[in-house]
Structure 1
Amino acid sequence: MTDFLCRILFFNRYLTLGLIFLATAVWGMGVPGASFQTIFEDLLPRGHGIVENYLGYRAQYGNQDSVQLILENEHGSIYAPPFLRAVDAATRAFETLPAVNKERITSVTSRKVRIAHTDGSTIYSDPLIDPDRGVPETGPALQELKERVMAAPGVLGQWVSWDQTAVLIDGALVPGASDYVAVFERLRQIAEAAEQTPGVSAKMLGRPVLTGWVYSFQSQIGWILLLSLVIVLGMVALYSRSITLVGLASLAAMLSIVWGLGLLGYLGGNLDPLVLVVPILLVARALSHSVQMGLRYQELQASGLQRIAAGRELFKRQFVPGALGIVSDALGLFLIAIADIPIMQKLALFVGFWTISMLINVMMVFPLMISFMPQRGGSASKSRVLGRHPILDGLGRLAISRRSRWVTWACALTLTAACVGLSTNVPMGNPQSGTPLLWPDAPYNEAVAFYNARFLGADQLTVVLEAASGDVRNLRYVEAASALQARMDAETLVAGSVSFVDLLPQVRRIFWGNYPKAEVLPVSDQESGAYTQMLQNGANPGDFDRYFDRQYRHASITFFLKDASTPTVDAVLQALRQAIDRVERDYDVEGAFQIGLGSASLQAAVNDEVHFSHSATFICGVLLMTLTCLFAYRSMTLSVILVVPLVLTNFVVLATMTLMNIGLDVNTLPIIAVGMGVGIDYGIYLMSRIIEEAGPDATLADVGPAVVRSLKTTGSAIWLTATTMVFSVGVWYFLSDLRFQAEMGLLLALIMLVNLVGALVLVPVQVMTFGRRSVAVRAAAGGALAH
């Protein structure tokens, strides 16, 4: 089959290249349609019960497209006219945020924060600070405000800090219609304007703010990725001593980029900017395949073949192992789509197609293009890669020495056992408070820490109470909500809770002449309905939308968590489910409580999907790659030899993530999948070379020398590509101010290093331990894919 493809490609080299470049031009027209932006809904698992509830109720009770601004008076309490004027100005400025829902702007100076009141004849609620009358300026007015803050349920801790030195302003954006960067920049302007008041400091929170901070590093990320590419090309040039090889490798990488981005553009797709690391890895994969071909071409030229003949022979010898590696990579990447998360499925299609395109853009274009290059004698002798290599010479001696092999096995099994033990504790999602995307001292994480310390908490979990009777004001639902809050407030990881039920005792007390003992829950359906109606007297439509809908069919109960770490979220969710089961039975409200809103509940839903999909992806990936190798080599023994380093890499990576406290989430999952796919490529190239070097008349005694020769040739190319990747991504850790990129650089450097050891140490040792007969049989049959 390879001979047939070779004849077709080289029958008319100009025509073949012309067709490939024409196809590239067509894909290139789709590139402008590709976009890299954050769409929050793309990060959520479809079909998950929590996510379904979130999508159903987000318009009523808030979505994750919201921003918060904390203003702190560093010179005293909030009861200072200049500070209150800054709060009022910032609240009004929130209306200028792009795509903001003006009905969902809340602070102590807005109409949304209210307190029950009576004029002697009517009970009604009025704003804590009436926006029409302005902020209090006199001593008595400020004292009255302080008393109202202390008396109003749900204000202290939620909108005013516990120590009464800071306030919170919240603004919800229209779902799906928000330009996060524009929101971030405008909010930063509002914060800077507030800080012009002496003593006022501002802190910004919310997912759009986090996205804005991440986007602010885009320029730096771009320069670091460009530097990585320069390091790769520079090291290839240094080792190979061939500008031609560097140029053709760059061309192959560029063609694959155009094809990949073109598909994304034609599909109208978008990817989260954080996954930009993945395309860079794919560029490195294209360069790696190109280097393998380039160095093999140098060998062929050194053997006396002319350029066209060398190009033909290069294709015949390298296409099969290269194609096997590419197909194995692509199958593993397509498996990312197992995760029922839109961003994962888009990414799987994008990177899978990009990888498959390397069959044309690298494995076919490179031999054709290099056959046009001028003949340069002695190129192989000038290459450092194909000269003496003490490390590879030593690895060859290690593989053929019985004693050294057993030492290697002992070390490998010990390492595997240790990593398997550690990998069982790999963190899921966010293992710490704040965001793992940024360093602990980043402004965003400092804002989260301040919020958690001074307020109820930045991380929330909202339960929706649905009334089967059609009215959540019915007493059994009011009592059930109060009971659920009481149970959860007793949990040590819950800072507090808020619902409309909290407001009713105060109204009842006022109704009973401000009698303290009357400040309890209503005692009948009629009382509950009446007090809820009184609460809304004087309010504008929508002022209580965050508590219940206007037909009273459902209401919200919001729990504030002390932090957003996965252990905290999991523990609170478990306690909440147990509490819901108990309360629903005790109050005969089966199925009334639905978990579905708040950052904590959505984080738990994503963690569930990532945990399942990672295990499923790994298992399916191992099976598929085993079957691919089995199809190619017709030997289960050789297939196992190639897959063992892949399994080891997985456990080493998970163990390292455990030690570094890096969580497994939607950002890290695809990077691990791409990184581990490199190992199977290296193994396939080396195995194919061992079989080729053994020859058709190989005996068991010929396999050892074949291993040694393969390590000196193909092993040299593997060493080059792996070490260049280790250096090029390892620098991320030292250069990037974005914690995610820095840690991924360190993790990827480790993955490349483990893949290098797996290919150059474990594969030869396994071959010499139990694979010599299989290699000899395959060599006699003619190599991979031969019958």
Structure 2
Amino acid sequence: MSKSPYTSGKPSGLASALLGPIKLSEQIIERVLFYKRVPVLFIFILLTLGLGFQAVQIRPDASFVKMIPSSHPYVENYLKYRNDLSGLGNSLRVVVEAKEGDIFTTTFQNTLKQVTDEAFFIPGVDRSALKSIWTPNVRWTEVTEEGFEGGPVISPEYDGSAASLEQLRTNVLRSGQVGILVANDFKSAIIQMPLFDKDPATGEKLNYQVLSSKVETLIREKYENADVRIRITGFAKIVGDLIDGAKSVALFFAMAIAITLVLLYLYSGSVTGTLIPIGCSLVAVVWQMGLLKIFGYGLDPYSMLVPFLVFAIGVSHGVQVVNTIRLEQSEGADPWLAARRAFRAIYIPGLTALLSDGLGFVTLMVIDIQVIQDLAVAASVGVAVIVMTNLLLLPLLMSYVGVGKKAIAKMQASQNKESSPWQMLTVFAKPRGAIIAVSFALVALGVGLYGSQNLKIGDLDKGAPELRADSRYNLDNAFVTDHYSTSSDIFVVMATTAPNQCTSYNTLSTVDSFQEYLTDVPGIQSSVSLVDVSKRVTAGLNEGNLKWRSVSRNQYVINASLAYVPSGFMNGSCSLLPVIIFLDDHKAETLDRISAAIADFAAEHNSDALKFEMAAGNSGFEAATNDVIGTAQYEMLAWVYGVVSILCLLTFRSVKTVICIIAPLALTSVLCQALMAYLGIGVKVATLPVIALGVGIGVDYGIYIYSRLSTYLVQGKTLPEAYLATLKTTGSSVAFTGLTLAIGVVLWVFSPIKFQADMGILLTFMFLWNMLGALILLPALACLLHNHKAAQTEENAHVY
């Protein structure tokens, strides 16, 4: 007797240890599921009601800290000095723009004052660090014959008269805030709103959706009129806009469900075979949401697409179950027996596929960014509940109703038809066609590897790439960049010294050299630090002579120049001196170039007395995030493919079989990276998980096709014959699932949220290529790797 070349004879010890309990669980679950149907169904109903109650209470959840890698040296440095860097972490900028004229009018100043007061009382704002020309912490200074003079930019005597407005103009000019809080063209002014991570009143995480809504209603909607335009930028506003855009996510989700519903009916010809798989997949989404709420999770903007992926995976498995029931009923089984046989046929390959999905998603945990780790948890929980809803509940429900006479007749006609359109694909199960398919795959692999060399880490566009270039946020951000010397892209370097040494000549001189060095680094607009304060006041002490605009060697002169230091330029113990760097943009290449330049300077000048440490500011955090993603993306892929390969190996016990299932997925991953490079989509927090999610969904196709193929091979069929029979059953459902899900997500390209549009393109590509890989490349590899003469007996074969 000969063994089948597609399955192995004796399972290994490890495989037996794994598959033995799984096989035993199959037998136990089958008996309980089909002989205790009413109690089991009642339990499912209770669970759905309970988890549904929890699901409706889940809320959007976003946090600035969750978006950054907390263990990265940049972030650790920031957290160490966090209390001394007020305003240099998470903040909002509200721009009040005069549509006509400039800011030196009574009407404009009244509006600016009211907006400042409104911003002051918004929950979550760090009021002590709030800045505007109307706040007392923004001051002007000058040197006269009588010594220093200074005061708040808005003097106590301000009354809106022409004289007080002229005095305001003078105060603004000598405050040093032109280009920072006042536009270079004097047509707008900024209120800078530093934010806490937690609401001081409640102690709970700051709700960005509520904050964004309050800023919109209390500031933009209230004060924007025919004379004034309000613009708002900052991380919290990006998140708020993404959460608001969740309505479009829900709309496209509903459209995808409707499309799947129609196409599934056209495919199956069964009302019950359409409604029950869709219903069970939606139940899986409800269970997932409910469990996440119980575990204390919310939905952040980057995991809002996970429910659709759970639905997609559920539909993929549900179609396989229904298709198997159709086949069994077409051969004469009643609904109860057909459902039992379908459960028995699907349980092990389905459980293997879902374990591969779930563990593949768990590998995202290796990325030290909490928002990605939360996404991993959400996706893994979703896959876990699919085991219950689509592998157990679905066959249980179908055992009552079956697929209907129309669906049975359609399946019988398909099985009895002598010629089939699927016959064309059997060419890839023959040597000549297999060689052509594999050759094409190798060429595609070469193209993919070449194209993916241009794949970039991080953002490749200005503004917020998650939103459309013409979105209100990105237009507001572009306005700030164009009209202010200080862009919204801030990179902060922390110069640290021993206590009371931040104002010493050696410290200031080295920092001055550092700032001069930065002027030659492309991508940097400007920088500001305590050195600029000292140089400006020193020149003022000497009648404004520009020759004195330098760091004095006389420590007494330095001390005199720093008698009045604006907040944020040094800490209380004089051991921290932030250097605030304003960038042209936050593109990945800009951040890489600047980080490298700063690291070079630090390596040369750091000492026990003075150290330059990176980094704070939104661009500093993004540089840290890019660094983590650049390192973790290949580690994540290694884990994903490693876990999936091991599970396939334990199930099929053949390295060649693993290659047949995994190779098409790997080709899709490489081609997806090339597509991202071609479309200008960088690898970042929003896009990094896509490849892992694509692998998780795609592996299902290969496992189901190979399991069915093995079944026919051990019956004595040749590979082309076995593959044709596979195509008529499992293959057709794989093709249907891939096309249906691709049609559902391709509509996302019309979403107002660019992040969702990008995901739609990438997921459509991966759904289609994973489907084609399973239908074309898998049989071709099986033909070339295995002995073409399949065994005629089942004696030494293991069938699933």
Q: Is the TM value for this pair above 0.5? A: yes
| Matching residue of 1:714 | 730
Q: Within 1, Cα distance between the matches of 2:56 and 2:406?
A: 44
Which residue of the other structure, out of 66, 90, 95, is the alignment partner of 2:120?
Answer: 95
- Of 176-185 and 232-241, more deviation after overlay is shown by 176-185
State the shift of 1:304 in Å: 0.8
State the shift of 1:714 in Å: 0.8
Q: Which runs of 5+ in 2 are unaligned?
A: 1-22, 200-205
Q: Within 2, Cα distance between the matches of 1:781 and 1:751?
A: 37
State the shift of 1:150 in Å: 4.1
State the shift of 1:50 in Å: 1.1
Which residue of the other structure, out of 527, 530, 540, is the alignment partner of 1:510?
Answer: 540
* Residue 70, structure 1, aligned to residue 95, structure 2: yes
SS class of match (1:413) = helix
Q: Within 2, Cα distance between the matches of 1:694 and 1:487?
A: 71
Which residue of the other structure, out of 660, 664, 669, is the alignment partner of 1:650?
Answer: 669
CA deviations over 1:5-39 (Å, ceiling 9, x no partner):
43343332223334444454554454356332211
Task: Tell me the amino acid that sits aligned with residue 365 of structure 1.
Answer: L
State the shift of 1:514 in Å: 4.5
| Matching residue of 1:257 | 285
Assess if the C-alpha contact under 8 Å between 1:306 and 1:375 holds in 2: no
Q: Which runs of 5+ in 1 are unaligned?
A: 537-543
Q: Within 1, Cα distance between the matches of 2:795 and 2:556?
A: 91
**Cα gap change, 1:584/1:125 in structure 2, threshold over 3 Å: closer, same or farther?**
farther
Q: Within 2, Cα distance between the matches of 1:286 and 1:238?
A: 19
| Matching residue of 2:77 | 53
Which residue of the other structure, out of 572, 597, 600, is the alignment partner of 1:578?
Answer: 600
Assess if the C-alpha contact under 8 Å between 2:499 and 2:573 holds in 1: no
Which residue of the other structure, out of 602, 608, 620, is the alignment partner of 2:621?
Answer: 602
**Cα gap change, 1:359/1:775 in structure 2, threshold over 3 Å: closer, same or farther?**
farther
The 5 Å alignment of 1:622-633 reads 622-633=641-652
Assess if the C-alpha contact under 8 Å between 2:325 and 2:402 holds in 1: no
Assess if the C-alpha contact under 8 Å between 1:696 and 1:781 holds in 2: no
| Matching residue of 1:675 | 694
SS class of match (1:276) = coil
CA deviations over 1:106-139 (Å, ceiling 9, x no partner):
1233323322224643424322332x3337642x
| Matching residue of 1:340 | 368
**Cα gap change, 1:43/1:412 in structure 2, threshold over 3 Å: closer, same or farther?**
same
Assess if the C-alpha contact under 8 Å between 2:499 and 2:574 holds in 1: no
Q: Within 1, Cα distance between the matches of 2:281 and 2:455?
A: 34
**Cα gap change, 1:290/1:385 in structure 2, threshold over 3 Å: closer, same or farther?**
farther
The 5 Å alignment of 1:366-381 reads 366-373=394-401, 376-377=404-405, 379-381=407-409
| Matching residue of 1:125 | 150
CA deviations over 1:333-355 (Å, ceiling 9, x no partner):
11111111222222222321321
Assess if the C-alpha contact under 8 Å between 2:741 and 2:764 holds in 1: yes
Assess if the C-alpha contact under 8 Å between 2:515 and 2:527 holds in 1: yes
Task: Tell me the amino acid that sits aligned with residue 594 of structure 2.
Answer: V
Task: Tell me the amino acid that sits aligned with residue 653 of structure 1.
Answer: C
| Matching residue of 1:164 | 186
| Matching residue of 2:508 | 478
CA deviations over 1:580-621 (Å, ceiling 9, x no partner):
233336xx744x222121011100111122222221111111
Task: Tell me the amino acid that sits aligned with residue 557 of structure 2.
Answer: E
Assess if the C-alpha contact under 8 Å between 1:28 and 1:258 holds in 2: yes
Which residue of the other structure, out of 343, 349, 357, is the alignment partner of 1:315?
Answer: 343
Q: Within 2, Cα distance between the matches of 1:404 and 1:753?
A: 21
State the shift of 1:560 in Å: 0.1
The 5 Å alignment of 1:52-451 reads 52-61=76-85, 62-118=87-143, 120-130=145-155, 132-134=156-158, 137-138=161-162, 142=165, 145-153=168-176, 155-177=177-199, 178-188=206-216, 189-196=218-225, 198=227, 200-373=228-401, 376-377=404-405, 379-382=407-410, 386=414, 391-396=421-426, 398-451=427-480
Q: Within 2, Cα distance between the matches of 1:775 and 1:352?
A: 38
Task: Tell me the amino acid that sits aligned with residue 770 of structure 1.
Answer: L
Assess if the C-alpha contact under 8 Å between 2:460 and 2:588 holds in 1: yes
**Cα gap change, 1:36/1:88 in structure 2, threshold over 3 Å: closer, same or farther?**
closer
Assess if the C-alpha contact under 8 Å between 1:98 and 1:182 holds in 2: no
Assess if the C-alpha contact under 8 Å between 2:137 and 2:567 holds in 1: no
State the shift of 1:411 in Å: 1.8
Q: Within 1, Cα distance between the matches of 2:773 and 2:413?
A: 20
Which residue of the other structure, out of 758, 765, 768, is the alignment partner of 1:750?
Answer: 765
CA deviations over 1:507-548 (Å, ceiling 9, x no partner):
223334555433322323333233212x25xxxxxxx33111
Q: Within 2, Cα distance between the matches of 1:169 and 1:78?
A: 14
Assess if the C-alpha contact under 8 Å between 1:33 and 1:264 holds in 2: no
Aligned-residue CA RMSD in angstroms?
2.5
**Cα gap change, 1:782/1:20 in structure 2, threshold over 3 Å: closer, same or farther?**
farther
Question: Highest relative contact order (Cα 8 Å, sep 6+), 1 or 2?
Answer: 2
State the shift of 1:181 in Å: 2.7
CA deviations over 1:688-715 (Å, ceiling 9, x no partner):
11111112445xxx12210111112111
Q: Within 2, Cα distance between the matches of 1:374 and 1:561?
A: 64
SS class of match (1:731) = helix
CA deviations over 1:619-647 (Å, ceiling 9, x no partner):
11112211111111111101111000110
Q: How many positions carry a matched residue from both structures?
A: 765
**Cα gap change, 1:64/1:7 in structure 2, threshold over 3 Å: closer, same or farther?**
same
Task: Tell me the amino acid that sits aligned with residue 315 of structure 1.
Answer: F
Assess if the C-alpha contact under 8 Å between 1:497 and 1:558 holds in 2: yes
| Matching residue of 1:769 | 784
TM-score normalised per structure 2: 0.90
| Matching residue of 1:14 | 38
**Cα gap change, 1:488/1:240 in structure 2, threshold over 3 Å: closer, same or farther?**
same
TM-score normalised per structure 1: 0.92
- Of 156-165 and 200-209, more deviation after overlay is shown by 156-165
State the shift of 1:48 in Å: 0.8
SS class of match (2:211) = helix
Task: Tell me the amino acid that sits aligned with residue 393 of structure 2.
Answer: V
Task: Tell me the amino acid that sits aligned with residue 493 of structure 1.
Answer: G
